[in-house]
Amino acid sequence: MDAADLRIFESVARNGSMNRAALELHTVQSNVTARVRLLEEELGAPLFHRHHRGVELTAAGRRLLPFSRQMARLLDDARSAVKDDGVPRGPLVLGTLETTAALRMPDVLASFALAYPHVDMVVRTGTTASLIDDVLQYRLDGAFVAGPVRHEDLSTEVIFREEMVLVTARHIRSIAELAESGSVKTIVFRIGCSYRARLDSVLTRHGLQVSTPLKFGSLDAMLGCVAAGVGVTLLPRGVVATAWREGRVAVHDIAPEEARVDTLFVRRREVYSSTALNAFLAIARPVATPTLVLA
């Protein structure tokens, strides 16, 4: 068993097909099939169930899969370490919350792109849950997520601190006035939104019944629905500053213990930290500025 065998195995497992794996690996299907059979003979156990639609992992295959992914990542890290001459360059794939992308990332990305033009950066947005999974599955080099996060495979660092506020239609003058309705529709990001539980807690504390939330993938869509009186949401104060100043929404303070949210940068503990990633974090850290006051 060698790294090439495990790479073929992982590709077949991910694609669910010997043929699709062959296309991905730029080889012929007979070669993939033969290498998988030799690997199964060496290990003394079948790794796939074959059927007319493709293949599925056996129990033994499922146990092997994490090790094959770890091996592939170690080889990638070894190549990166050898090529890393201390000058930030090459690919850097990061994730961020939609709110962090809107509030914090523009200045960071502009400064980083100007200072390190040879880094090929990709930034993807998502929810805390989806971003953490992408980091754990090696799809991202790191991500900005909402804390707290506790996972034995992740290294976490507080980068930004946000003050959350309740956002409602502009005619709502207070949370007490909102509570008079007895129930309210909440507006949140798609499944995995870390703010949802906090929003439900705030509303429940004020005696409001919370209905099934509306889920969006866009910050602008959320604010548009709130402005139209469809429901309420919980967002960092700085994110809603423009909408508040323009009179499109109303902003309401909540209890300090519910308002503060740490934005963490998470990455896998054992993964090689490139010069490009270290340079990016060096720029991101000083950007943590005092919360914007709406007055």
Give the Cα separation of 292 and 241 in Å (integer): 8
CATH class of the domain whose range is 90-161+261-287: alpha beta
Q: Which residue has the tokens 């156990």?
A: 45
Instruction: Grade residue 292 by pLDDT with cuts at 50, 70 and 90.
Output: very low
Nearest residue to 294 via CA among 257, 239, 226: 239
Taking the C-alpha atoms of residue 267 and residue 139, their distance in angstroms, rounded to an integer, is 11
Residues contacting 101, CB < 8 A, separation 6+: 123, 125
State residue 106's pLDDT score: 94
Average pLDDT of the chain is: 90
Q: Kind and range of the H or E element at 90?
A: strand 90-97
For the record, the structure tokens of 189 come out as: 């990001």
Residue of 267, 264, 280 whose CA lies nearest to 141: 267
What average pLDDT does this structure show over 22-35? 94
Bridge partners of residue 293, in order along the sequence:
none
> What residue type is assigned to position 60 of the chain?
A
State the amino acid at position 58 in one-letter form: T
State pLDDT tens for residues 221-271. 999 999 999 999 999 999 999 999 999 999 999 999 899 999 999 999 988
- Residue 155 vs residues 49, 83, 212, 217, 274: alpha-carbon distances, Å: 37, 24, 34, 27, 15
Report the distance separating Cα 119 and Cα 93, nearest Å. 10
Domain ranges in the chain are 3-83, 90-161+261-287, 163-260
Classify domain 163-260 by CATH number: 3.40.190.10
Q: What is the DSSP letter of 156?
A: E
Q: Average pLDDT of 9-14?
A: 93
Rounded to two decimals, what is the model's pTM? 0.74
Fold equal for 90-161+261-287 and 163-260: yes
pLDDT at position 295 over 60: no
Q: Say how many residues make up the chain.
A: 295
Picking from 37, 36, 43, 39, the residue whose alpha carbon sits closest to that of residue 21 is 36
Over residues 75-102, the pLDDT tens digits come to 877 777 777 778 999 999 999 999 999 9
With beta carbons less than 8 A apart as the criterion, state whether 81 and 40 touch: no
Sign of CA dihedral 19, 25, 28, 31: negative
**What is the C-alpha separation between 91 and 78, in angstroms, rounded?**
15
CATH T-level fold of 3-83: Arc Repressor Mutant, subunit A (1.10.10)
pLDDT at 175: 92
Contact (Cβ atoms closer than 8 angstroms) between residue 110 and residue 122: no
Q: Tens digits of per-residue pLDDT, 36-81?
A: 999 999 999 999 999 988 999 999 999 999 888 888 878 877 777 7
Q: Alpha helix (H) ranges present in 137-274?
A: 175-179, 196-205, 219-227, 241-245, 256-259
pLDDT in tens, 101-124: 999 999 999 999 999 999 999 999
Amino acid code (one letter) for 32: V
Strand partners, 54: 51
What's the pLDDT score for residue 77? 74
Contact of 176 with 113, CB cutoff 8 Å: no
130-145: pLDDT as tens digits: 999 999 988 999 999 9
